[in-house]
Amino acid sequence: MIFTVAIDGPAAAGKGTISRAVAEAFGFAHLDTGALYRAVGVKGGDPVEAARSLTPEDLSRDDLRSLEAGQAASRVAVIPEVRAALLDFQRRFARRDGGAVLDGRDIGTVICPEAEVKLFVTASADVRARRRWLELGGEAAPRALADVLAEVQERDARDMGRTDAPLRAAADAQVIDTSALTSAEAIAQAVALVAKALQR
């Protein structure tokens, strides 16, 4: 069975948590496409060459979840040649047999416009910054909450403002706003939407 679930949204909205849970619930393969861009960003050197030569080892680095890796990902993601180099990999993964869940910023709009389910997971910038700040250690974090909020807003502006595949909800995406939801509630919403599509 070929069945693609495309999950998009801004940083720290909860799309990774939801994507992993949806994949597990239905036995689908999961790809965090942001990890591809994070890996390219932290590899250093020429970003286009880094994208063309990505290996599985690059995707298992310990530093891919760091704030620095996220900022690096956002910087290389605006380069059209980097996006082109990673496009085929993502599309092949999406249409693999057995079902696939991909999360990122342009899955439903560019990578898999034909996806059977498209979700756009979002939350307010304040909520997302607080989540990221708590991930970094809260009061013990190396950055103040205000600094993390500024970084989240800067990243949003870059992701939404880029000319190639900007972050936006697909016209037929179903929006899940996690601002006031627990992760369990958000996951339940997503699983219900996928289950409904599978029944059709």
CA 35 to chain centre: 8
Does the annotation place 165 within a ligand binding site?
no
**Cα 133 to Cα 29: distance, rounded to the nearest angstrom:** 29
pLDDT at residue 52, rounded to an integer: 93
Alpha-carbon distance 118 to 91, whole Å? 15
Is 137 known as a binding-site position?
no
Q: Is 196 annotated as a binding residue?
A: no
**Is the pLDDT at 103 greater than 90, yes or no?**
yes
48-67: pLDDT as tens digits: 999 999 887 898 899 998 88
Q: Is 14 annotated as a binding residue?
A: yes
* Ordered alpha helix ranges (H), 1-63: 15-26, 33-43, 47-52
150 assigned to a ligand binding site: no
Residue 13 counted as an annotated binding residue: yes
**15 — pLDDT class (breaks 50, 70, 90):** very high
112-146 pLDDT tens trace: 999 999 999 999 999 999 999 998 899 998 889 99
Percent of the chain predicted with pLDDT > 70: 100
The answer on pLDDT for 20 being more than 90 is yes
SS3 label, residue 29: strand
Task: Check the annotation: does 16 bind a ligand.
Answer: yes
Query: Domains of the chain by range and CATH?
Result: 4-187 (3.40.50.300)
